[in-house]
Amino acid sequence: MVDKIKLTIALLVLVAGMAAFYLFSEYSTLMRTLGLLALVGVSTAIALQTETGRGGWAFVVGARTEARKVVWPTRKETTQTTLMVVVMVVIVGILLWLLDMGLVWAVRLFTGAGG
């Protein structure tokens, strides 16, 4: 129950920050943006005090750890793969164009259209 109250407060702080951003339109955009970012930080800090927030943060940390384990391709491998994709796209495009031309020819032959 306490977690629900904390999440509700965090949501209310966030909504209040967004409302204040638009209500105080006569002030500098920089000041309104800084205020909004501060309230987003406060809202996040409140949300992280809940079990759901801690679970979400653990997920983010785990995802970051897993992303660091990824073996990224070298520049040479990326270039070669990109070139192969481009070549295959061109080949398939030509094949589809030839198929289209053949089908147009066949339809004209069967329908007697085109002279």
Distance CA(100)–CA(18), nearest Å, equals 54
Domain ranges of the chain: 2-69, 73-115
Q: What is the pLDDT of residues 26-82, one digit of tens each?
A: 999 999 999 999 999 999 999 999 998 899 999 999 999 999 999 999 999 999 999
The pLDDT score that the predictor gives to residue 3 is 87
Distance CA(115)–CA(52), nearest Å, equals 73
pLDDT score of 17 more than 70? yes
Q: What is the mean pLDDT of the chain?
A: 93
